[in-house]
Amino acid sequence: MILEDMYYGNWRPNEQIKSTDPESQKVNQKISEHMEMLKNKLSEVDFEQMEVIFDLLNESTSLHSAAAFIHGYQTGALTMIEVFSRDKEFGDGNKP
């Protein structure tokens, strides 16, 4: 149940999203190839610094995704409020 999962902190929509877009798979493959190439070219210290940058980028992306999710959810809720408010305003079945 979503509400129970939300209450216990077990609802993580970002972990449930799996892209089926072939372009996404190509991009991830390119990232892996470039990471392997850089791992072979850079010193261990430099490569670790690059991994830190990627971790920070992932964190930034996650924060942006959370903000986009919240904004989308709020927009949906506001839309529903507007829909139901109009239902009361036009309760007799007449359209605006």
pLDDT band for position 87 (cuts 50, 70, 90): low
Residues 6+ apart with CB under 8 A from 62: 14
Give residue 31's pLDDT.
95
Model pLDDT for residues 38-85, shown as the tens digit of each residue = 999 999 999 999 999 999 999 999 899 889 989 999 999 999 999 988
Round to whole Å and give the CA distance between 4 and 54: 33
Give residue 66's pLDDT.
87
Cβ neighbours around 1 below 10 Å, total: 7
Q: Is the pLDDT of residue 13 over 90?
A: no
DSSP 93: S
Cβ neighbours around 32 below 10 Å, total: 10
User: Rounded mean pLDDT of 4-10?
Assistant: 86
Round to whole Å and give the CA distance between 57 and 30: 17
Round to whole Å and give the CA distance between 96 and 75: 22
Cβ neighbours around 51 below 10 Å, total: 13
